[in-house]
Amino acid sequence: MAMVVDVASWVLLTVGGFFVLVGGIGALRMPDLYTRMHAASVTDSLGAMLVLGGLVLQAGITLETVKLAAILIFMLFTSPTAANALASAALLAGINPGLAKPWRQEPRS
């Protein structure tokens, strides 16, 4: 049983680590600030959920699990707030989302 939990935990940690890496690669590859932020948000949404989920399995039913859950909830509340602050600051500073075309309905190919 402990073995199963350990394997599940390591799977979560490894997959979470993969998404953190993807966020980093994306932040380097993307062409401008706003698209970089899209890539980086993979790290602090899915990456954080999987890594913290893996750590919860390691901790078991203890006080640490309560703390890890609290960390996850606070991250999910604060990271979009920080992203909104960054994005509107960039917009106000005149960094034009010039790569983005205005949205319109396009026929699906």
Partner 1 sequence: MKKNPAATLRGMLMLLCFLAAAWVLWSGHFDPLLLGLGAFSCLATLVIVWRMGYFNREIFALTISLRLLTYWGWLIKEIVMSSLAVTKVVLNPRLPISARYIELKASAVGPIGQVIFANSITLTPGTLTLDLHQGELKVHALTQEGAEDLMSGEMDRRVASLGDR
> What residues line the site for partner 1 (CB under 8 A)?
19, 22, 25-26, 29-31, 34-35, 37-39, 41-42, 45-46, 49, 63, 66-67, 70, 76-77, 79-81, 83-84, 87-88, 91, 97, 99-103, 105-106
Minimum CB–partner distance for residue 38 and partner 1 (Å)? 4
Sequence-separated (6 or more) residues with CB below 8 Å from residue 30: 36, 38, 39
Minimum CB–partner distance for residue 4 and partner 1 (Å)? 23
User: By the 8 A CB rule, do 97 and 34 touch?
Assistant: yes
Q: Which one, 7 or 91, has the nearer CB to partner 1? A: 91
Report angle CA 26, 73, 43 to the nearest 5 degrees. Answer: 10
